[in-house]
Structure 1
Amino acid sequence: MGDLVVHETTSCFAFARFGQEWRLCLVEHPRLGRGLVPGGPTEDGEGALTAAVREVLGKTGLRVRLLPPRLPEWYPHPAASSVWNVVSMPAAADSCCVRRHLHRDHIVVGVVDRPFVVHGAPEGTVHWVERSALDRFNLPEDTRVLASELFGLIDDRVALQPRPARDEDLAAELLRRQEEDQTVRLVPAAERTPEFMERWRAVDEANTAWLSELIAAHGWPGEALVGRRAAGAAWLLAQHADHRPDFQRECLELLAAAVTAGDAEPQHSALLEDRVLVAQGKRQVFGTQLVQGPDGTLAPHPVRHPDDVEALRAAWGFDPLETYIGQVSSSIR
């Protein structure tokens, strides 16, 4: 290559589940006027993987979890790197180099378990694009082709490896505790004496302590381990762990990762996301947390993006807000 200048760069194809569908994270490049996956040059002494995580955070404000390429099932050794490929790309003069040069680009693939939680201000406009919209988005052709290919691979790459053996005893205990949780909550308000409220508190504290021990021993109890109904019971216990907000936030991180892996119900993660945000005094995403006004009517706690909330609710399979509020109002009369 003679005196050709070579810059080490990284490009991250970051995916997130939006309800039951995958979307790809793209950022608008201010100079090129088109969408790109987050990426950029590596810094001195920095590896490609560290650079990828840093670039995604800086460009989008999101935290990405990198996925290693899948080796054959029979291969006895774990992957040592999350780089999927390294390619050489000619580059025009830019802010890093005043003449044409070469990018040695490390391509990585990752997932964002909580795409609505932003850590810092993004550098540009962020778009979450579904597969069907790739052809309508202004993208470099190589990005479009590779993104389309990766949409077809992502389900397999995030699936649990290996899948745990089903634990029927654990499933039965989760369902038993769910029944106890619901029994105290279905008692009419007029019958909730101080003694009863103490029993309610004791049920929640016991369930939370038990769930904490379970997670420490097994990780999040997803559908592969305990089945769909019992996995829903685990979410319910976490949803009602308000007296331990740090643990509840830990549950949300684990549940969101389980959703990414296809091992938990996306609605459960959305419901817990809203509950945690409201508990932190922040605006919720899906409008699932309601507050009762002085006249007894229910309304959502403030929502982050009111113009988008109905579309988000539809993507996650929730009823429209008006319908949802009506259903909750009827259930508490």
Structure 2
Amino acid sequence: MAPIRHLTASAYLFARFGPSSWRMCVIKHPRHGGYLAPGGHVREEQDEPPLDAALRETLEASGYRPRLLPVPLPDGYPHPGVIGPWWTVDIAAGPDGRADVRHLHRDHIYVGVVPLPYEPQGRSELPVRWVDRAELEVLDTPADTRILGDHLLGTIVNAVRPSTPPVPDEDLAAELLRRQELDQEARLLPKASRTTPETKERWRTIDRDNRTWQEQLLATRWWPGISEVGERVGAAAWLIVQHADTEPDFQLRCRDLLAEAVLAGEADPRHGALLQDRVRVARHRPQVFGTQLLSDEAGELVSAPIWEADQVDLRRLEVGLEPLADYLRSCRQAAG
């Protein structure tokens, strides 16, 4: 008699925590007790595709809606890859809510990335952890999860690189530098000069013009990456957005584009952290990295509210920022 076989789908999710640290998302399984990649049964009675099941189960279990990656192809292959399972395997399963005897799960294994691991899209139904290779090695998890997770943690950096590598664009780099100089023109004036009506209007005009130009630039392309304009000029692209506070929706979109560039190694994680905090504070949410400051009742610069503040220095260290106390001290001295 043929074995009972149910279709399942799972997703191995990865995020970059800083310049070179990758972690994998695992959820604590309610029946097995240990940690697994998010996944579950395909709703075959509803003709649900395995890809849809992987996304649904992942969002329900972990709170994340990942960007799934296409199946890898050899270098030089002339056709674009499509999103599909990287592997399909048969896994022996004990009795569960769908079968009262031992059976098989034909699992469709997808691989995805989460550009903003501190920004889940939903509420997780299960405990969630992000683990690196050392933590995965000792984690209470089945051998198959450990083997695939370890393999993918060693190769994910290549999987997220652009399929068509960016080429240097000297014209774009020069324009970004020109606009950065304009951005700093008013901001670097002596404090007394920055408060005149003429300077304030000049400041607003520069910010509005820079924002309009960059909005048009990004309407048809991704973020200007390090390979294209260099690391120093990449800072100019970030600075323009950081000063576009009058357009919060534009900042939000740029946060996502910049996060994808950080994920691909094409932007500075510190810039991603600063913009992520800027967007959160603008929406009256606690910031993640403690980069956004305000004045207290005594007029002293302090951090805007921080999510899980006792862990903020660990998060700052991940992305290459100095400890919060040092950052506050430097900002207060500069403002003084």
Calculate the TM-score normalised by the size of structure 2: 0.96
Deviations 1:218-238 (A, max 9, x none): 321111211111111101111
Letter in 2 for 1:226: V
**Residue 193 (structure 1) aligns with:** 196
Q: Take 1:74 and 1:219, find their aligned partners in 2: how far apart are those partners?
A: 22
Q: Take 1:3 and 1:154, find their aligned partners in 2: how far apart are those partners?
A: 37
1:263 deviates by 0.8
2:236 aligned to which of 233, 244, 247: 233
1:217 deviates by 3.5
2:268 aligned to which of 265, 270, 291: 265
**Residue 5 (structure 2) aligns with:** 6
Structure 1 counterpart SS, 2:126: coil
Answer yes or no: is 1:31 the counterpart of 2:31.
Answer: yes
**Residue 133 (structure 1) aligns with:** 135
**Residue 97 (structure 1) aligns with:** 99
**Residue 289 (structure 1) aligns with:** 292
1:11 deviates by 1.4
Letter in 2 for 1:329: R
Q: Take 2:99 and 2:278, find their aligned partners in 1: how far apart are those partners?
A: 48
Q: Once structures 1 and 2 are overlaid, which stretch shifts more, 203-212 or 173-182?
A: 173-182
Structure 2 counterpart SS, 1:283: coil
Structure 2 counterpart SS, 1:83: coil
Structure 2 counterpart SS, 1:287: coil
Aligned positions of 1:19-168 closer than 5 A: 19-20=18-19, 21-43=21-43, 44-168=46-170
**Residue 331 (structure 1) aligns with:** 334
Structure 2 counterpart SS, 1:86: strand
Q: Take 1:113 and 1:316, find their aligned partners in 2: how far apart are those partners?
A: 13
Identity %: 47
Letter in 1 for 2:172: L
Q: Which runs of 5+ in 2 are unaligned?
A: none
Deviations 1:187-244 (A, max 9, x none): 2332220111011000100000000111124321111211111111101111111111
Aligned positions of 1:296-315 closer than 5 A: 296-315=299-318
Structure 1 counterpart SS, 2:79: coil
Structure 2 counterpart SS, 1:271: helix
Give the length in aligned residue pairs. Answer: 332
Q: Say whether the 8 Å CA contact 2:68–2:83 is kept in structure 1.
A: no
Q: Take 1:25 and 1:81, find their aligned partners in 2: how far apart are those partners?
A: 19
Structure 2 counterpart SS, 1:26: strand
**Residue 208 (structure 1) aligns with:** 211
Letter in 1 for 2:102: R
1:3 deviates by 4.1
**Residue 16 (structure 2) aligns with:** 17
Q: Take 1:76 and 1:104, find their aligned partners in 2: how far apart are those partners?
A: 31
Q: Take 1:81 and 1:176, find their aligned partners in 2: how far apart are those partners?
A: 40
1:294 deviates by 2.1
Q: Which runs of 5+ in 1 are unaligned?
A: none
Q: Take 1:125 and 1:86, find their aligned partners in 2: how far apart are those partners?
A: 26
Q: Take 1:79 and 1:222, find their aligned partners in 2: how far apart are those partners?
A: 22
Calculate the TM-score normalised by the size of structure 1: 0.97
Q: Take 1:207 and 1:265, find their aligned partners in 2: how far apart are those partners?
A: 21
Q: Take 2:225 and 2:331, find their aligned partners in 1: how far apart are those partners?
A: 27
Q: Take 1:69 and 1:15, find their aligned partners in 2: how far apart are those partners?
A: 15
Q: CA RMSD in A?
A: 1.1
**Residue 249 (structure 1) aligns with:** 252
Q: Take 1:108 and 1:246, find their aligned partners in 2: how far apart are those partners?
A: 31
Structure 2 counterpart SS, 1:169: helix
